[in-house]
Chains A and B, each alone.
Chain A
């Protein structure tokens, strides 16, 4: 029974990682931009939600709904006026700029909010759970997992059912030809980052309700998100979910053997997948 519980907890944890990773996957898939500030943007969104909760007295879910359009705007401006200037044949400038952005964000948050641990007030929901047989499944982890699936279904619909999604895919495959067809890659990229920021807001909501956050916690979240994207394969959103679940389950199984192996097991699983499938499990794009 403990093994069933271990796997279930791992799958639910995978939902959180997938949520961290979905925004990264979107941006990475469309414009090959590795956003090293992704974790810090999640933390920034968490602080934005926290401010709305404490200043306006909104419940966290409503506060996240208010924060989402703000983050959408921030993402659009960030991509349009900063990150677009770094894109080109050289992969180094976007890495350096987002790395710098990560440090700047951390220090700005530290200056503004101090190093105190914060958490979004959750009330009873954070500790409540559903009893299924001998298993206790936390309501909050379950919601996190459900949200991750909803986000991925939503993004897939956007990708394959709308003209914006067609523009995303076209720009991803061949920006030059796409722009010959009247698509402005810069504009498409800005929209993609803005949408990624919506997902970031959702990830921030669950991060903030699940445990403490402080200005320095972002980079530690980035690595799992990044691994989930790579395991899943470039441009595949379902792959990102699978990647998150693989890391989550490996971590809980590793921990069940010995807690020393918890984090290591996730990294080992990542390396094993790369060894067998160097391009990830479900790569969409060919590059």
Chain B
């Protein structure tokens, strides 16, 4: 846990004594900084996930522990092929000791796969664990063929958590339990609508009826078919995982057609405040999953900052509202510092991978430990789950929206800021 002392012992101090003792071992890199590679989508359609990167990187560089690291940052340009390319560059040209990667399976999967093949330790986050773990298997359709990874580790939540959070939010309301689904024909939509691992079996168990008109293409301009289907089944709850422009089209058209559900719990599309603001005043009380917020009762193991401090610092530095990836990107660097503080040779990939697997870190996003809690056996070795709660966007006086946590049934230590309200 005491990262600074261990770091001094393992890197600077060791390097210093070696250097002081003359020309004993010039090839040993121990006096040098530990090299971290970091890949994220800084430009392109996924760029909103990375808007806090610079703030987090600056914070890490200025921290006491951060001085022992050199972070080499690469942009995936929101393109999976480019992500794999830059991961290769980081490994081969920059000879990094460890890879960090964040934000969506389009970024995490190609980078993780490259690291696993090159036997470079890799920590990844900000992608539900199913697309990360199952998506990288040779045959995603056959669970018996799935194998664990030896150098790649991932911390985030999974589909089962978001299903639990959404149904808990709906259970707070008095509805007819008729749910309408807006699942696009993409990786997320197919996973959410999957009859085995997705929403349908859980909803059926809990007495909800699901109206799922079918998978539509992204960037559709008309949702009258879905709206008519929802009206016919008296849908009072809408859920789905559309991309932001499609949700705006749907929601606007639904309002035009006089269709207003009591609850709309949407993944992905309304993650960022800018996307909700695009809905004008009609985004009030839309609900979504919350992975991290300034009211999460956790502190950084790097700087001691609380969640509120970190989010406040971002707003002060950039003038922009906090977003959920901030906490997780920060936690990535907490993990790197913690792991490197527990190894004697940062260049020994096997030792580093072992140290990652042994992590027990109280981070700014909660406890990260690869102990298999809440996970099926096949993913237990590589995945650590972080808590997930549910929130609603509330119109603020004078414009803009605030995300208020309204359900914490799966993580009671995270305080709620109110109860679930119906959309009117």
Spell out A's residues near B (CB within 8 Å).
2, 5-6, 9-10, 13, 16-17, 110, 114-119, 121-123, 126-129, 136-141, 210-214, 216-217, 220, 224, 248, 251-252, 255-256, 258-260, 262-264
* Chain B residues with CB below 8 A from A118, complex form: 274, 278
* Chain A residues with CB below 8 A from B48, complex form: 115-116
Known pairs A110-B44, A216-B45, A263-B217; A127 contacts B228 (CB<8 A):
no
Taking A117-B248, A259-B226 as given, write out 8 further A-B residue pairs in contact, using a Cβ cutoff of 8 Å, ordered by the A residue number. Answer: A117-B245, A210-B249, A212-B245, A217-B219, A258-B214, A259-B215, A259-B225, A262-B225
Q: How far apart are B219's CB and chain A's nearest CB, in angstroms?
A: 5
**Considering the complex of A and B, which 7 residue pairs feature the smallest CB-CB distances, nearest first?**
A138-B256, A255-B225, A127-B255, A115-B47, A259-B216, A119-B278, A9-B224
Spell out B's residues near A (CB within 8 Å).
43-48, 51, 185, 213-217, 219-226, 228, 232, 244-246, 248-249, 252-253, 255-258, 272, 274-275, 278-280, 282
**Residue in A9, A122, A127, A217 whose beta carbon sits within 8 Å of that of B222 in the complex:** A9
* Chain B residues with CB below 8 A from A115, complex form: 43-48
For A123, the closest partner residue in chain B by CB is B280
* A9 and B221 alpha carbons, distance in the complex (Å): 11
Number of A-B contacts (CB under 8 A): 128
For B245, the closest partner residue in chain A by CB is A212
Query: A260–B219 contact, CB under 8 A?
Result: no
* A235 and B373 alpha carbons, distance in the complex (Å): 66
* Chain A residues with CB below 8 A from B248, complex form: 117, 119, 211-212
**Residue in B219, B232, B256 whose beta carbon sits within 8 Å of that of A141 in the complex:** B256
For A257, the closest partner residue in chain B by CB is B225
SS class, residues of chain A in contact with chain B = helix
For A122, the closest partner residue in chain B by CB is B280
Q: How far apart are B30's CB and chain A's nearest CB, in angstroms?
A: 41
Query: A212–B213 contact, CB under 8 A?
Result: no
**Residue in B228, B246, B275, B282 whose beta carbon sits within 8 Å of that of A2 in the complex:** B228
* A210 and B275 alpha carbons, distance in the complex (Å): 14
* Chain A residues with CB below 8 A from B257, complex form: 129, 136, 138
Query: A5–B228 contact, CB under 8 A?
Result: yes
* A212 and B217 alpha carbons, distance in the complex (Å): 16
**Residue in A5, A117, A258, A260 whose beta carbon sits within 8 Å of that of B224 in the complex:** A5
**Residue in B216, B232, B244 whose beta carbon sits within 8 Å of that of A260 in the complex:** B216
Query: B219–A220 contact, CB under 8 A?
Result: yes
